[in-house]
Amino acid sequence: MTLTVLGIDVPPALLDKWVGWQAPDEQPFFLTPQQAEVLGLEGTSRKPSAEDRDTFWTYAVDKSASVIVWLGEAQFAALDKPIRAQLVRAQVRHGRGSVPTVRKWQGLLGPELRAQADGHRFVWWKSLLEKHADKILPEIVSEDLGPSRHAEVTDWPASLPRARELAGTFADGSGPNCFGTVMAAAGIESAETVWMMCEPFEGWLAAHTVPGGRDDEPGTVLLWRGEDRVQHAAITIGDGWVLHKPGQSWRLPRKIRTVAEVRRASRTVGSRLTRHRVIG
């Protein structure tokens, strides 16, 4: 069965990948050196994958939590419950992602969820996800996001040859971002499959755009800059619609939204919006 998430079809093969990214066989737990010593847990030098980074918000973890302990479900379950409770509470304090509340999910997963850790928070394992992936993952992926409105577009511009193909799709993993999406829509092959860095994107802007453009016409690159670098980009497809990918996470699709919606969602303190018109 193909699910629809944020107005986008998600085939079974991609849903299976989502299960693995949301609940990998081993997941990282972040501790301070002192916490690791007290809990009797040893860290390793293993680095999180790109998907781990976005599932567990490794970029947001407190720098004091410098020890990464990798545990599988059986290893985690074998720990004494007080240790599991302290370990999970530490993840919340340190800012790690994917530590949901028991209250939110026990109606679906049952009261035994309280036994995993401290009774208030828990972590995802495949054993929890697999039976209910079609209910759990759409909710996780959709959190705080508006749907893609690609089905409402009636006129796709020939000047952006790949916009229709990209609109309303999820990337095959973490990495692909807003810059690559804009470049791919304008015809750059495979740009949508990589984590496009600022430098090659700026090079493309310099070679293929000029300052200016209108929000109601196709081919206007909306560009948000901070003090020292470009932060986000989107591209208009006409009639007030815009194509963008909100970030590099596997959860974030290439979406069609209105210009007003994207401008509201992309507004951050210290950034300024400029426009560039694609010239080929």
State the 10-residue block means of pLDDT for the chain, 280 residues long: 92 96 98 98 96 98 98 98 98 98 97 97 97 96 96 96 97 98 96 96 96 96 90 96 97 97 86 92
Provide the residue ranges of all domains of the chain, joining segments of one domain with +.
24-123, 150-278
Give the per-residue pLDDT at 143.
Answer: 94
Residue 123: CB partners within 8 Å, gap ≥ 6? Answer: 27, 76, 88, 91, 98, 99, 116, 117
CATH topology of domain 150-278: endopeptidase fold (from Nostoc punctiforme) (3.90.1720)
What is the per-residue pLDDT for 1? 67
What tokens were used for 173?
Answer: 């993993």
Nearest to 20 by CA among 62, 50, 57: 50
Look up residue 101 and give its DSSP letter: B
pLDDT of residue 197: 96
Q: Comparing C-alpha atoms, which of 237, 278, 267 is closest to residue 255?
A: 237
- Could you tell me if 229 and 236 are in contact, meaning their C-beta atoms sit under 8 angstroms apart? no
Query: Other C-beta atoms within 10 Å of 132: how many?
Result: 12
Q: How many residues does the chain have?
A: 280
Residue type, 67: V
Report yes or no: 18 and 3 within 8 Å, Cβ to Cβ.
no
Q: What is the pLDDT of residue 169?
A: 98
